[in-house]
């Protein structure tokens, strides 16, 4: 039995990780309430429709599938929404994680890979951001991720939980074989929004701020291909599985490409790829957006030998455009 419980496995990063898990001989058991995930993205193992805030549903999934470990993606993940509706974020992300950890303990499931975020750093004092940079989040989403990291560290200490925490920078792109991709409703992310505006002349891309202290005034982000994120999860899981020591620990890694691109640079790359000019509107800054977030991912490279393979901007944009074309055809056929 090589079952891995993947909470949020019907979502964007979760589904790509399920595909990578299956390719490496694991069976991903998706546990997802389908509030933002998609049943059609569950292609590599069984789906349990359940909520991480529901202990009974979690217990039933653990009893049935007896997972070796958990990869925990399920969370609310819109920075802007977290500012206006923090209760949702603390319930889903913090209470939900606590319940998951409780049921893991009940079932003696001791290994966890947790989806954290560079949003847990807040405004960086140095760039690229090293893994030991102080964490001072500036929005409830970032607070909720940091709180869960702290809970995990305490569980590692008290209950011998063995955990890897992955702080993602900006997940982007789509499966290179076109099986799955980004399908958020509503879509708030730059790359899909810009592609949609480029493909549909009736749509306008809003650019949130060109008055930041960056070279062109727009925000800089570190875009990492979702397939590279997926491979990192499998690597971390394998590392946990080969650990013979019973002691608890929590190990955190940054996951980024270590290269920053401004919003305007990303827009230009998409226009170039699609040979078009998109309609844009410059708006005020979006609340909760730091000017610049770029990763120092050296610790996962040095310790686990992880390397980003697909996180150059052309590959990210190509795969996201291919997926966007497929999505347009799918919507037309509905």
Of 66 and 318, CB closest to ligand UFG: 318
Q: How far is CA 112 from CA 109, 230, 233, 248, in A?
A: 8, 15, 10, 11
**Greatest Cα-to-Cα distance within the chain, rounded to the nearest angstrom:** 58
13 makes contact with ligand UFG (CB under 6 A): no
For residues 135 and 120, what is the distance between their CA atoms, to the nearest angstrom? 6
289 makes contact with ligand UFG (CB under 6 A): yes
Burial 305-316 (b: 16+ CB within 10 A, else e): ebebebbebebb
294 makes contact with ligand UFG (CB under 6 A): no
79 makes contact with ligand UFG (CB under 6 A): yes
293 makes contact with ligand UFG (CB under 6 A): yes
Say whether the peptide bond before residue 186 is cis (omega within 30 degrees of 0): yes
DSSP 222: -
From the CB of 196, what's the least distance to ligand UFG, in Å? Answer: 9
Which of 3, 7, 93, 170 contacts ligand UFG by CB under 6 A? 170
320 makes contact with ligand UFG (CB under 6 A): no
Of 119 and 232, CB closest to ligand UFG: 119
Half-sphere exposure of 219 (CA within 13 A, CB side): 23
Inter-axis angle of helices 313-333 and 190-199, nearest 10 = 60
- Pairing mode of beta strands 220-221, 204-208: unpaired
Give SS3 for 266.
Answer: helix
Strand partners, 319: none
Strand partners, 29: 5
Of 65 and 310, CB closest to ligand UFG: 310
The dihedral through the CA atoms of 317, 322, 323, 325 has a sign that is positive
Which of 193, 251, 257, 319 contacts ligand UFG by CB under 6 A? 193
Of 29 and 71, CB closest to ligand UFG: 71
5 makes contact with ligand UFG (CB under 6 A): no
Which of 20, 180, 263, 321 contacts ligand UFG by CB under 6 A? 263
Of 46 and 217, CB closest to ligand UFG: 217
Active site residue 208: no
Of 104 and 266, CB closest to ligand UFG: 266
105 makes contact with ligand UFG (CB under 6 A): no
Strand partners, 204: 279
Which residues are CB-neighbours of 117 under 8 A, at least 6 positions away? 77, 141, 142, 145, 167, 168
Q: Draw the binding track, 20-59, toward ligand UFG (x: CB under 6 A; -: no contact).
A: ----------------------------------------
Q: Which residue has the tokens 């930041």?
A: 212
- Tell me which of 141, 168, 223, 253 is the catalytic residue: 141
Which of 71, 101, 190, 269 contacts ligand UFG by CB under 6 A? 190
Hey, which residues are catalytic here? 141
Residues in contact with ligand UFG by CB under 6 A are 77, 79, 117-119, 141, 170, 188-190, 193, 205-208, 219, 221, 263, 286, 289, 293
């Amino acid at each position: 039995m090589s079952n891995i419980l993947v909470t949020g496995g019907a979502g964007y990063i979760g589904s790509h990780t399920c595909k990578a898990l299956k390719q490496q001989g694991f069976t991903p058991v998706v546990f997802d309430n389908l509030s933002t995930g998609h049943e059609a993205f569950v292609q590599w193992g069984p789906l349990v429709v359940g909520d991480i805030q529901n202990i009974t549903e979690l217990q039933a999934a653990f009893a049935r599938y007896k997972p070796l470990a958990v990869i925990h993606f399920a969370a609310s993940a819109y920075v802007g929404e977290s500012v206006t509706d923090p209760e949702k974020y603390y319930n889903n992300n913090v209470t939900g994680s606590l319940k998951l950890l409780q049921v893991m303990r009940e079932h003696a499931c001791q290994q966890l890979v947790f989806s954290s975020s560079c949003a847990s750093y807040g405004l960086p004092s140095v760039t690229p951001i090293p893994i030991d940079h102080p964490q001072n989040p500036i929005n409830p989403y970032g607070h909720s991720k940091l709180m869960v990291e702290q809970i995990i560290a305490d569980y590692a200490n008290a209950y011998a939980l063995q955990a890897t925490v992955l702080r993602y920078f900006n997940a982007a792109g789509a499966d290179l074989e076109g099986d799955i991709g980004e399908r958020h409703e509503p879509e708030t992310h730059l790359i899909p929004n810009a592609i949609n505006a480029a493909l549909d002349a009736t749509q306008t891309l809003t650019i949130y701020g060109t008055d930041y202290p960056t070279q062109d005034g727009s925000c800089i982000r570190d875009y990492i291909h979702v397939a590279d994120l997926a491979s990192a999860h499998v690597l971390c899981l394998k590392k946990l599985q080969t650990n013979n020591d019973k002691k608890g620990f929590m190990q955190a890694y940054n996951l980024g490409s270590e290269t920053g691109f401004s919003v305007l640079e990303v827009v230009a790359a998409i226009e170039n790829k699609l040979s078009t000019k998109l309609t844009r509107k410059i708006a005020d800054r979006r609340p909760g957006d730091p000017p610049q977030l770029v990763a120092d991912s050296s610790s996962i490279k040095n310790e686990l030998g992880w390397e980003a393979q697909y996180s150059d901007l052309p590959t990210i944009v190509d795969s996201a455009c291919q997926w966007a074309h497929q999505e347009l055809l799918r919507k037309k056929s509905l």
